[in-house]
Amino acid sequence: MMGYGGYGSMGFGLGFLGPIINIVFLLVIIWVVASVFNNNKHCGSDDDPRIAKLERETEHTRDTLEKILKKLE
């Protein structure tokens, strides 16, 4: 009787299913937290200054290549 008091406290007193349910809840919580952080990382990608800089550099390179091609013709 002494060790029985804490036996049913984990996992809602469902016996051997309790630890399995706890593991499933833990996995769901980890998945939710990971998806929230993943969504936050991608939300600001439109205003990312690195992308804007790369677009400017690409446009500049394209213009330079067009000028070089015109000179070669």
Q: Quick: pLDDT tens for 9-31.
A: 554 556 778 888 888 999 999 99
SS3 73: coil
Average pLDDT value over all residues in the chain:
77
Pure H helices in the chain:
17-43, 49-72
Cα–Cα distance for residue pair 54/62, rounded to 1 Å: 12
Q: Is the pLDDT of residue 6 over 80?
A: no
Q: What is the pTM of this model?
A: 0.40
CA dist 51 → 40, 41, 58, 63 (Å): 17, 14, 10, 18
